[in-house]
C-alpha cells in the first residue's frame, strides 16, 4: 500500500490530516541488545506514549482512524485478535468505531521476527500544535528572526497573524472532536 491509500483511509476531513506514527520495536539496526518482543506486547507498545514518534499520549485522546502495518510471520487472525483486545481501551470517534486499516508484509525486519508500525489520526497531535503556537508567540513578541522574512523574503507581517489564526482554528477543530469524546463519555457514565 502507498501513502495515498493510507491517507485516504485515515483522513476523514481535509484539515485534520496530521498523522501520529509509532513503531515497535523502537531501535536502530546497530542496537543488538533489544530483546525480541512478543507480538501481543508489540501491539500494546504501539499504543503507549513511549513508542510514539512525537511527544504525545494517544490513549488519552480520540482516534479518528488507525492503520497497522505489520512485518514478519504474522497471521491475519493474530492481527484481528490484537485489535479486538485493544479496542475497549481506545476511544474512537462515534461515527468511525471500526476505523482500522491493516497491512501485512511477510518479510521481517532485519534482526527481528516481526515489527509493527501504527499510523493514527488522533487528536493528541493538537498538543504538539499548542506547543508550536506558544514557541511562535514567544519569538514573535520579541520580533526574533522577523527581519529575515520581511526584508529578505519579502513577506507581509500579516502573513504571520494569518498563520497563527489558522493554527488556532486547527486546534479548535481537534478540541471540538475531543468534546464529542467528553459528551459521549458523560452520556455513558464513563470517567475520562
Cis peptide before 25 (omega within 30 of 0): yes
158 and 99 in a common domain: no
Domain identity same for 74 and 149: no
* pLDDT 10s digits, 19-72: 999 988 866 555 555 556 688 888 998 998 888 888 888 888 999 999 999 999
* Same domain (yes/no): 105, 16: yes
Last-in-domain residue among 124, 145, 175? 124
Distance CA 14, CA 161 (A): 22
* Last-in-domain residue among 124, 153, 170: 124
Give the pLDDT confidence of 150-182 residue by residue, as tens digits. Answer: 876 778 888 888 989 999 999 999 999 988 665
Range of the domain at 173: 127-188
pLDDT of 118 above 70: yes
Q: Check residue 52 and report its DSSP letter.
A: B
**What domain count does the chain have?**
2
C-alpha cell at 24: 515497535
Mean pLDDT, rounded, of the chain: 84
Q: How many whole angstroms separate alpha carbon 1 and alpha carbon 109?
A: 17
Q: Are residues 57 and 118 in the same domain?
A: yes
Q: Which three cell numbers stand for residue 145?
A: 528572526
DSSP 105: E
Element (H, E) at 119: strand 114-122
Structural domain ending residue among the three candidates 109, 124, 139: 124
pTM assigned to the model: 0.80
Same-domain pairing of 30 and 117: yes
Identify which has the larger pLDDT, 110 or 94: 94
Residue 125 has pLDDT above 60, yes or no: yes
Amino acid at each position: 500500500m502507498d501513502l495515498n491509500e493510507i491517507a485516504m483511509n485515515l483522513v476523514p476531513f481535509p484539515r485534520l490530516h496530521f498523522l501520529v506514527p509509532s513503531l515497535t520495536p523502537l531501535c536502530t539496526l546497530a542496537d543488538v541488545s533489544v530483546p525480541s518482543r512478543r507480538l501481543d506486547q508489540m501491539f500494546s507498545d504501539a499504543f503507549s506514549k513511549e513508542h510514539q514518534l512525537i511527544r504525545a499520549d494517544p490513549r488519552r485522546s480520540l482516534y479518528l482512524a488507525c492503520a497497522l502495518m505489520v512485518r514478519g510471520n504474522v497471521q491475519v487472525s493474530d492481527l484481528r485478535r490484537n485489535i479486538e483486545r485493544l479496542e475497549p481501551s481506545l476511544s474512537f470517534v462515534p461515527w468511525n468505531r471500526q476505523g482500522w486499516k491493516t497491512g501485512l508484509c511477510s518479510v521481517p525486519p532485519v534482526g527481528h521476527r516481526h515489527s509493527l508500525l501504527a499510523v493514527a489520526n488522533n487528536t493528541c497531535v493538537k498538543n504538539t500544535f499548542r506547543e508550536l503556537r506558544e514557541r511562535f508567540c514567544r519569538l514573535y513578541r520579541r520580533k526574533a528572526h522577523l527581519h529575515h522574512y520581511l526584508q529578505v523574503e519579502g513577506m507581509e507581517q500579516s502573513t504571520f497573524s494569518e498563520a497563527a489564526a489558522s493554527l488556532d482554528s486547527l486546534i479548535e477543530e481537534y478540541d471540538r472532536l475531543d468534546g464529542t469524546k467528553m459528551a459521549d463519555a458523560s452520556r455513558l457514565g464513563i470517567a475520562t
